[in-house]
Amino acid sequence: MKIKGGVFLFTLVTIALLGIWSFFPIYWMIVSSIRPERDLFKIPTFWPETIDWQFTSYKNLLELTDYPLQFMNSVVVALAVVFITLIISIIIAYVVTRYRVPGKTFIVGSMLYAYMFPPLMLAIPLLSIFATLGLSDSLIAVILAHCTLTIPLGVWMLWGFFKVMPFDLEEAAMVDGCSRAGAFFRVVLPLSLPGMITVSIFSFLLSWTDYVFAFVLITSDSNKTLPVGLASLIGSFDARWGELMAGATLIAIPLFLMFVFLGRYFIKGLAAGAIKG
């Protein structure tokens, strides 16, 4: 019993330390965003000696950058990436699990090879392709670039869900009068909801925080997304650290809200994918 108690205590302490290690950068970012500017360059303290209740860093951020426009650009890009990723991933994953497709295992596995290459290596040839198609310096180019990474992951995860889902469920629905499409929408999709939410969160997270693709493909200020716009606060000789921390905090808020409301589906989807895939 003592051994089990010691193991449990060690596990608890380890989890607590890992939680502190993971959360501390986020905590420091938030605290730095509400410190007065003069305190940013003093000897750091874990809790701010004074708090800027006027939120000067946030006000300066909105005045120095086109933050509302960049926020909308990021929202449009991220939601479009999630929508396109879900539609294409669901179709491909369902087809390769329900129909006889030659070499389907190789096709699904080879899609993950896109993750072998750094984003910058993909961004440069994509820039050339989009310039040829007349899509350079547009949000459409960024959306399509993000989909090159999110769709393979989406197909791989949903393939695991569809592969182990009994076809008898669809047959029973079709016996009851549903068409093949009706069985798909009424049976397959509801049962795959945790997987679809997991794919959506991963896709949104990748698109929302991407810097490389947006930096390479976007040149005009009107099309910049949040990470690229925030990076413009870093000059050659100085950086506005208060505004940078404020901007980073605002970028993190949608992700935090997403995990608060969809976290249980996300964990369920990851667990189911690990078991079923």
pLDDT at residue 1 greater than cutoff 70: no
More confident residue, 249 or 110: 249
pLDDT of residue 277: 41
Calculate the alpha carbon distances from 163 to 96, 110, 160, 276 in Å: 9, 17, 5, 8
- Which pLDDT band, with edges at 50, 70 and 90, does 81 fall under? very high
pLDDT of residue 15: 86
Separation between Cα atoms, residue 167 and residue 170, nearest integer Å: 5
pLDDT at residue 87 greater than cutoff 90: yes
* Top-ranked range on mean pLDDT: pick from 48-52, 64-68, 89-93, 156-160: 89-93
pLDDT in tens, 227-260: 888 877 776 556 777 888 888 888 888 888 877 7
Average pLDDT over residues 40-53: 77
- Which pLDDT band, with edges at 50, 70 and 90, does 83 fall under? very high
Reduced to 3 states (helix: H, G, I; strand: E, B; else coil), residue 239 is strand
Q: State what percent of residues in the chain have pLDDT above 90.
A: 10
Q: State what percent of residues in the chain have pLDDT above 70.
A: 89
Q: Tokens 């938030």 belong to which residue? A: 30
Average pLDDT over residues 167-193: 76
More confident residue, 20 or 273: 20
pLDDT of residue 276: 45
Q: What is the mean pLDDT of the chain?
A: 80
Residue 132 near residue 170 (C-beta atoms within 8 A): no
Of 71-75, 105-109, 269-273, minimum mean pLDDT range: 269-273
Write b or e for each residue in 176-193: b if 16 or more Cβ atoms lie within 10 A of its Cβ, otherwise e.
eebeeeebbeebbeeebe
**What are the structural domain ranges in the chain?**
1-53, 57-271
pLDDT in tens, 95-107: 888 777 777 677 7
pLDDT of residue 6: 67
- Which pLDDT band, with edges at 50, 70 and 90, does 272 fall under? low
State the pTM of this model. Answer: 0.82
Separation between Cα atoms, residue 105 and residue 48, nearest integer Å: 55
Average pLDDT over residues 209-215: 88
Residue type, 4: K
Query: Among residues 11, 155, 151, 12, which one has the least CA distance to residue 84?
Result: 151
pLDDT of residue 274: 46
CATH 1.10.3720.10 fits 57-271, yes or no: yes
